[in-house]
Amino acid sequence: MNDKKQKAFQFVDEHRDEMVSLWEEVVSMESGPHEKQGINKVADRFKQILDKEGAASRLVEFENAGSMLIAELGERKSQPGVIFMGHMDTACPAGAIAERPFTIKDGIAYGPGVLDMKGGIVAAIYAIKALKSAGYDSRSLKVLLAGDEEVLHAHSNAPEIFIEEAKGYAAAFNVETGFVDNGIVVGRKGVARIMLEVKGVAAHAGNDPENGRSAILEMAHKIIAVQNLTDWEKGISFNVGVMQGGTTSTAVPDYAKIYIDVRYKNPDDLPDIIKQIEDVAAKVYVEGTAATVTFMDGIKPMKTTDGVMQLFEIVKKAYEENGFGTPYAKRVGGGSDSAYTVLAGVPTVCAMGVKGGRNHSPEEYAIVDSLFERAKLMIDCVLKLDSL
């Protein structure tokens, strides 16, 4: 074990209690998808820690979204820097912390966002602190933390900021949810959320039904048509997850809407996906109804580039040399901001955060020891970049 690695690993071992304490502190901050004030509180706390390490940091504020934290440590040298990235918001509703406070039982941590993804951010911050304590100065280390990933950046331009801030960097580690099977994510599908609305003609269901034009009946045809757009061979799936319409059973409904979730592999497929839904909207089944389509928001796919796979090999080598197990390259259907660093030309690996499961549910959990393991994994990966 080289000297810097040994010193950095020792730093992690000596600060285990401190790491868990910070983990508990930030999990205990309410920062659900619509809790702007709480997300900003988390951002302020992480900024305070990084500033103390000598980072040049700033917060990018948005009117209707949590702030984005950007921080960089070390001078930019001939070798391009390394990015640690993630998001500070959780998918947990307001009040979840009171119901499920941070607890540890038999080596497992529980609480809202404990896995997705506050544990991963703590691991990344302590990887940075450990590298700094060991005298590492070969590359600058940059932190990019979004405040609204769980709502697909519906009210911010965080994707554009990720791309701009990442350009020219050597590698990015996204500390998203880690997998207990040691899968390291090298590819993700994109996500598109689309609203389809139908307007009909209201009428009394008993006295005047023949003059009504049911928006719900029209929508029923369209739901089947949308679901049938799924193309498993291309890796494109359509899911009507929400349907709303009507006000009372005694009236022919004059309005209905659905929200459609689309998952896709190729960024170039999005225009055609929208066109397909627009074609469904244009076809009329119930005369006298009309439909409109609105693209709501989304996250682009994370492409599996040669650079991504080369970085995965570094992770794999660090994993195995340190006895952390045998990782494998994993491709998943859930989106993440790794898409944007890859679009910026930066090799990126995802799911480098603490390991656990059941995120986005009341049973969310994380393995405590993985907090320290993942910090060490990222330390060794950064050091290995210099040996290439």
Distance, CA of 247 to chain centre: 36
Q: What is the pTM of this model?
A: 0.92
pLDDT on residue 235: 92
Give the burial class of 214: count Cβ atoms within 10 A of its Cβ; 0-12 exposed, 13-18 middle, 19 or more buried: buried
Residue ranges of the alpha helices (H) in the chain?
A: 3-14, 16-27, 36-52, 96-99, 119-133, 158-166, 215-227, 270-282, 306-321, 338-343, 368-385
Length of the chain: 388
CA separation for the pair 352, 370 (Å, rounded): 10
pLDDT on residue 94: 86
Percentage of the chain modeled with pLDDT above 70? 99
3-class secondary structure, 312: helix
Q: Which helix (H) or strand (E) holds 84?
A: strand 82-87
Which tens digit of pLDDT belongs to each residue from 358-373? 998 899 999 999 999 9
3-state secondary structure 123-152: HHHHHHHHHHHCCCCCCCEEEEEECCHHHC
Which tens digit of pLDDT belongs to each residue from 72-118? 999 877 789 999 999 999 999 888 999 999 999 999 999 999 999 99
CA separation for the pair 175, 119 (Å, rounded): 8
* Ordered mean pLDDT values, 10 residues apiece, the chain (388 residues): 91 98 97 94 98 97 97 88 97 90 97 96 98 95 97 94 98 97 97 97 96 98 98 96 96 98 93 97 98 94 97 97 96 94 97 95 96 98 87
For all residues of the chain together, what is the average pLDDT? 96
**Per the structure block, which two tokens stand in for 329?**
């390259």
Contacts of 320 (CB under 8 A, 6+ apart): 326, 327
Which tens digit of pLDDT belongs to each residue from 201-246? 999 999 999 999 999 999 999 999 999 999 999 999 999 999 999 9
CA angle 22, 131, 315 (to 5 degrees): 95
pLDDT on residue 388: 62
In angstroms, what is the C-alpha Rg of the chain?
23
Q: How many CB atoms lie within 10 A of CB 198?
A: 29
Contact 163, 340 (CB under 8 A): yes
